[in-house]
Chain A
Amino acid sequence: MEIYLDNSATTRVFPEVAELMRKIMCEDYGNPSSLHMKGVQAEQYLRSAKETFGRILKVNEKEIFFTSGGTESDNMALIGCARAGARRGRHLITTQIEHPAILNTMRYLESEGFRVTYLPVDAWGRISLEDLRQAMTQETILVSIMHTNNEIGSIQPIGEAAGLVKRMNPHTLFHVDAVQGFGKAKIYPKRMGIDLLSASGHKIHGPKGIGLLYIGSQVKIQPIIHGGGQQMNLRSGTDNVPGAAGFAKAAELLYAHYEDDIKRLYQCKRYFCDGARKLEGVKINGLLPGEPDGAGTAPHIVSVSVEGVRSEVLLHALEEEGIYVSAGSACAARKPQPSATLKAIGIEKPMLESTIRFSFSVYTTQEELDYTLRAMYDKIPMLRRYTRKR
């Protein structure tokens, strides 16, 4: 039995997406920049992909730009806007629990002479609007706040934060890293005051190597990749037609039964949390007080700290049963230092090294969760017996 509960790392591609991409790669493989029919055909796929995202986000299709993924979208938004706005000011704001694609890009910008404020979060992984208000200055050119946290699933008050920023300084740009949130929440940039938004294909059953950046038409931004002038000269490079079309197809399929899926994911989350709580010495991170069902947090992410068992060991023990989960987040699992997000929400040291993440998708079934819970009931007491004796 193979049970894949690491959907925040990446997801299985929908078969319809794979089929469409196969067709584009093997039959309609033209370059949209070519003048002949084969190129025009390919351009149709690209145009229709942009239309799909325009519809889903309720923005103009000309405001959709395809990139190589979430990381490039974040880099482009931050670096491109910082450089374009450097004359108005050199201050940026973000949070302490962003993905490394944001945090490390911010550190890079610091080395370029920008000043960055990192907002703290409360025990549930949310920023306070008051902190944001106090951090804002006349110099602030960009605020970047993630929609859904990849490790604990906390959701930021994006609409309120964007509104606050715009009220205090209408020139300050507002970027949202929605790599984990896109497909799991309805996000409408124009209505919410979002100027830029990053999303990624492979987190929503699309292919890897494709992402998008929504750039509102009012935004002043410089390209960070130079070349043949594709995508209005903002993001050069031969268009990834199969990627873009596959990404759009996945988004379309996902938003087609959005309401039902989200309801089911929350049921899964509640069911799984209830089951995990039956074990002693287990803590679920990031749930809001009085909301044991997970309301107000991501429907697909459950972060669990298991006292007395190191996360890597539990991960491999579950792996032996065919269950795939993640220690912290996949991007952090390659590094031994404890996760910044878990530290920021105030988790104590021994629990920091004992935290694993389960993340669900539309493919996740209750049967799979039962199997996983049973494996945890079996393995955790056994593993606790063999940990370091004190």
Chain B
Amino acid sequence: MFTAFLIKYAEIGIKGKNRYLFEDMLVHQMKLALKKCEGQFLIHKSQGRIFVEARGEFDFEEAVEGLKKVFGISGICPVVYEEDQGFEKLCERVVAYVDQVYPDKHKTFKVHSRRARKDYPKESMEINADLGEAILNAYPEMRVDVHEPEILLNVEIREKIYIYSEIIPGPGGMPVGTGGKAMLLLSGGIDSPVAGYMIAKRGVKLDAVYFHAPPYTSERARQKVVDLARTVAEYAGPIWLHIINFTDIQLYIHEKCPHEELTIIMRRYMMRIAEHIAKDTDCLGLITGESIGQVASQTMQSLAATNEVCSLPVYRPLIGFDKQEIVEVANRIGTFETSILPYEDCCTIFVAKHPVTKPNLNVIRRHEHNLDEGIEELVRTALETKELIVAGA
């Protein structure tokens, strides 16, 4: 029955003179999302709101699911709209609307009308009262509550008449593309896809880098990371996924450095490589899924040690999250099931039984000098043999 959606956006509304930039990007992202859905849609901005009108047949569920993945949307209202055929017809239409949308009539309601077309014969207060009366006559079991109604029935009178009452929550945030680009360090775990999602939600486009260590990690572990990137890309748009073969670097560190510092030194090299690619691809920062104290390499001391090697800002949106909170988001955005597939990833195989939890920077730096002879060459080779996959294109 619904033939259109009214899109509500929260934060964009408080922007100043550049607000149109945000709105235009939002419309652009909505167009991309709806392209994948059955049906044809017309999206237009009018008087501070965005309307999506379906042209003919369309799949309602699919369109809602698509729009729920567009950052910047705070609410999606399914709308019934039609030509103005006089007030009597409107009363009938509103009563029919209530009947279709609310099979259970034991509810309180309020009519909220807006008269954008000032030449309409009735004023909005009058419309409210008359429509309310029509509904009460049709369904005596319904009650009016003007303070906290269960149903807020909106009727907007413009060139056409729009009726809506339901708000489906959107993801919130800002339209992707309004906030620059950042490089996500994507492992196969639960955290990093969530971190990418959260930064993308602030309007940031994503690139990602994955460190692959064959034969210690399998082709399936790599496929899993590609799948995760694809899932995040449903929200964030196409992601360029850079795949680095990390095996030789890892083995070299394993050979030359104390075992309990392996993870920290390894992570320092991952950050260096990620930053290198980030700078080449115009990324303005790095993103990791770290959260304080989760594992040995994520204590404050360890984070300081890995942070030290880059000059770009490192964004860690999960820094204050508990694991359970991260899992909840992962479940909601659909990455959890993929993340928990049991393939070895490069961090788990080489991990020491008792890795350092409070690394001393000077000691780490000193031990890194053990690598001076060959590491530059290995890093160069790793960058040269980098693979690129576009996920979610």
Tell me the minimal C-beta distance from B204 to chain A in angstroms: 35
A320 touches B218 (CB 8 A): no
B-to-A contact residues, CB < 8 Å: 214-219, 251, 254, 259, 342-344, 349-353
Number of A positions contacting B (CB below 8 A): 15
B353 touches A312 (CB 8 A): no
Question: B344: which A residues are within 8 A, CB to CB?
Answer: 310, 312-313
A285 to B59, CA, bound (A): 58
A320 touches B214 (CB 8 A): yes
A-B contact pairs, 25 of them (CB 8 A): A310-B344, A310-B349, A312-B344, A313-B215, A313-B216, A313-B344, A313-B349, A315-B215, A315-B218, A316-B214, A316-B216, A316-B217, A317-B215, A320-B214, A320-B215, A334-B342, A335-B342, A336-B342, A386-B251, A386-B254, A386-B350, A388-B352, A388-B353, A389-B259, A389-B352
A122 in contact (CB, < 8 A): no
A336 to B217, CA, bound (A): 14
Considering the complex, give the chain A residue whose CB is closest to the CB of B262.
Answer: A389
Question: B349: which A residues are within 8 A, CB to CB?
Answer: 310, 313
A315 to B344, CA, bound (A): 12
Considering the complex, give the chain A residue whose CB is closest to the CB of B260.
Answer: A389
| Interface core residue of A316, A388, A390 (most chain B CB under 10 Å) | A316
A319 in contact (CB, < 8 A): yes
Question: A386: which B residues are within 8 A, CB to CB?
Answer: 251, 254, 350
Question: B350: which A residues are within 8 A, CB to CB?
Answer: 386, 388
A386 to B248, CA, bound (A): 12
A-to-B contact residues, CB < 8 Å: 310, 312-313, 315-317, 319-320, 334-336, 386, 388-390
Question: B217: which A residues are within 8 A, CB to CB?
Answer: 316
Knowing A336-B342, A386-B251 touch, does A316 contact B353 (C-beta < 8 A)?
A: no
Question: A310: which B residues are within 8 A, CB to CB?
Answer: 344, 349
A319 touches B215 (CB 8 A): yes
A390 to B351, CA, bound (A): 11
Question: A320: which B residues are within 8 A, CB to CB?
Answer: 214-215
A389 to B351, CA, bound (A): 9
A334 to B340, CA, bound (A): 12
Knowing A335-B342, A386-B251 touch, does A312 contact B218 (C-beta < 8 A)?
A: yes
Considering the complex, give the chain B residue whose CB is closest to the CB of A319.
Answer: B215
Question: A336: which B residues are within 8 A, CB to CB?
Answer: 342
| Interface core residue of B259, B342, B352 (most chain A CB under 10 Å) | B342
Q: Among B218, B259, B351, B352, which residue has its beta carbon within 8 angstroms of that of A316? A: B218
List the 3 shortest-distance A-B pairs measured between CB atoms, nearest first.
A316-B215, A336-B342, A317-B215
Question: A334: which B residues are within 8 A, CB to CB?
Answer: 342
A26 to B376, CA, bound (A): 59
A334 to B251, CA, bound (A): 27
Question: B219: which A residues are within 8 A, CB to CB?
Answer: 316
Considering the complex, give the chain A residue whose CB is closest to the CB of B251.
Answer: A386
A281 to B352, CA, bound (A): 23
Question: A315: which B residues are within 8 A, CB to CB?
Answer: 215, 218
Tell me the minimal C-beta distance from B5 to chain A in angstroms: 41
Question: B259: which A residues are within 8 A, CB to CB?
Answer: 389
A386 to B250, CA, bound (A): 10
A312 to B251, CA, bound (A): 17
Considering the complex, give the chain A residue whose CB is closest to the CB of B259.
Answer: A389
Tell me the minimal C-beta distance from B38 to chain A in angstroms: 31
Tell me the minimal C-beta distance from A384 to chain B in angstroms: 13
Tell me the minimal C-beta distance from A232 to chain B in angstroms: 42
